Amino acid sequence: MEFKRVKSIKGELTVPGDKSISHRSIMLGSLAKGTTEVTGFLQGADCLSTISCFRKMGVDISNRGDGTVAISGKGMRGLVAPKDTLDVGNSGTTTRLMSGILAAQPFESRVNGDASIQKRPMKRIMTPLAMMGADIRSELGNDCAPLIIKGMDLKGISYLSPVASAQVKSAILFAGLYAEGQTSVTEPALSRNHTELMLEEFGVDIKTEDKTVTISPAKELLARKINVPGDISSATYFMVAAAITPNSCVTVKNVGINPTRDGIIRVMQMMGADISVENTSETGEPTADITVRSSGLKGCVIGGDIIPTLIDEIPAIAVLACFADGETVIKDAEELKVKESNRIDVMVSNLKSMGADIEATEDGMIINGGRELHGAYIDSKLDHRIAMSFAVAAMNADGKTDIDGFECVDISYPEFYEDLNRLVEG
Ligand code: S3P
């Protein structure tokens, strides 16, 4: 896909539903008794992979394609053995969260996905699930998918997680639904808590104290209505575009601003962006309308506990930092190396080819803002967040930029190109 400099970006939009919440709605809806109705469901390829996996386990899921999904839950013991491999596509969230459920089912399953999934680390869930008594192994012995999971009787554990990962935490909590006794997970920093909030909504006894979450086994989950807010990770591209493109103003409506996900707002404030958060609603997952206007920006240091709250936004923040005065340091973000691509290397090499002053570090990157960017050939590595970040960079660069593999935006934001184009002037 080809991109060029634009004059400004203006207007209002809603972005598609939150990816994390959409996945969880299918999983918990499938395990509940009765019909769970979901609105605002993300029709991205990752969430469709979750639907197809649970359909393979006998769950009747009707997806109207307009964000409305009805899941006829089978109850906690109602899933049936899939006839063949559960295909997770590109989705790490499906792989890891579903593994926690499969670890307790009365059947064996095989979980596999695309080339990127087959390189992503699974030891981080295999270790705690095995401690709970699960029989989970990597088919090739390399701690990656394909995974073979044989359901077992599980027992609760207290797990000290070496990584702040909501995927690891959620896999353990889902297994904990079936375990004997309580299960608790302590993280080095708090990761997104959508699983905890949704489990509570489904009637599960779950408590969070500081960085430890404790769950009691459940007898039954109660089907519910779930309203998925707009994904702040998808809103980020418009927020950053509005901040760095001259004479711009964009309002993204109904965005999820859960405090475990709102790091991008806090970072933009730190960098001096003109950002306002209005019409906040506090019921369930909090939401707001976010407006960003173009402004001067200054570099900052981003590290520590804020990292898990903006982990998926770092590619876009790297672009933002190229347009800020002074140095931006992103640290404590080594998790970026094991996302859909190695996001440190891919951002640094692609931004360098656009003329940015950026260096990779062990756990992040250092960017000296203020250099004019120019168009370049960008290899997205089929990573959706890389492709969208460079669309935003290219709109503020001289000449033309070709983004290879741009169609991968389908993973989390199928309408991204159309939505962006609608707001672009000139
Ligand atoms: C997700 C958690 C994050 C995030 C991913 C979605 C989730 O991964 O990067 O896009 O839905 O739980 P980690 O928790 O492994 O960092």
Asked whether residue 366 is assigned to any structural domain, the reply reads: yes
Q: Do 212 and 84 fall into the same domain?
A: yes
| Secondary structure of residue 23 in the 3-state scheme | helix
Query: Which parts of the chain register pLDDT below 70?
Result: none
Q: Do 250 and 124 fall into the same domain?
A: no
Q: Do 34 and 80 fall into the same domain?
A: yes
The C-alpha angle with vertex 322 and arms to 258 and 334, in degrees rounded to 5, equals 55
Which residue's alpha carbon is nearest to atom 4 within ligand 1? 312
Q: Do 249 and 381 fall into the same domain?
A: yes
* pLDDT value, residue 27: 99
Give per-residue pLDDT as tens, 222-269: 999 999 999 999 999 999 999 999 999 999 999 999 999 999 999 999
Give per-residue pLDDT as tens, 7-59: 999 999 999 999 999 999 999 999 999 999 999 999 999 999 999 999 999 99
Q: Do 252 and 311 fall into the same domain?
A: yes
| Domain residue limits at 142 | 19-219
Q: Half-sphere exposure of residue 157, counting CA atoms within 13 Å on the CB side?
A: 20
Asked whether residue 414 is assigned to any structural domain, the reply reads: yes
Query: Domains in the chain: how many in total?
Result: 2
Q: Is 166 in the pocket of ligand 1 (CB under 6 A)?
A: yes
Q: Do 239 and 166 fall into the same domain?
A: no
Q: Is 191 in the pocket of ligand 1 (CB under 6 A)?
A: yes
Q: List the structure tokens of 256.
A: 């999820």
Phi, psi of 288 (to 5 degrees): -160, 165
Count of Cβ atoms closer than 10 Å to residue 273 Cβ: 24
The candidate with the shortest Cα–Cα distance to 117, out of 144, 143, 86, 136, is 144
The C-alpha angle with vertex 220 and arms to 94 and 111, in degrees rounded to 5, equals 20
Q: Is 335 in the pocket of ligand 1 (CB under 6 A)?
A: yes
Q: Is 312 a residue of the active site?
A: yes
Q: List the structure tokens of 384.
A: 């959706």
- Ligand 1, residue 19: give the atom nearest the CA: 11
pTM, whole model, 2 decimals? 0.98
Q: Do 167 and 28 fall into the same domain?
A: yes
Q: Is 234 in the pocket of ligand 1 (CB under 6 A)?
A: no
CA distance 13 to 289: 10
